[in-house]
Amino acid sequence: MSDESESLKERVETWMVGQMPIIQMHGGNSVVRKADAESGEVVVELGGACAGCGISNITAQNIQSDLIMTFDEIEDVQVKVPSSGDHGSSTVEGGRGGELQFGDEGPGHF
């Protein structure tokens, strides 16, 4: 499937899969809640151990800046990080996470 035929949400989800090893390493998960090519708005929700994590704000900032740099049509990224009492996204509702698997390159910078 070419970039033109894939929706923005599908492309953002594929991109997030590549970022998951480092998020999973810390017990977190993620789900793309919204990706609107017309408005340029993307909403990502973190969950699992991201709730109440001291560096989740850094992860959120990295996701925001990297998505804007990677996709020309993205202008605004909101990353929702749950409070420590809420677990946020889950793999049951379409989130990514679970068993940690990554190739030779290892986890990225998140």
Model pLDDT for residues 37-77, shown as the tens digit of each residue:
999 999 999 988 888 888 889 999 999 999 999 999 999 99
For the four alpha carbons of 37, 43, 47 and 53, in that order, the dihedral sign comes to positive
Q: What is the pLDDT of residue 27?
A: 87
Residue 100 lies in a domain: no
Residue 51 lies in a domain: yes
Question: Which pair of structure tokens corresponds to residue 63?
Answer: 């996701």
Total domains in the chain come to: 1
Structural domain harbouring 61? 8-83
Is the model's pLDDT at 80 over the cut of 50?
A: yes
CATH number, domain of 42, equals: 3.30.300.130
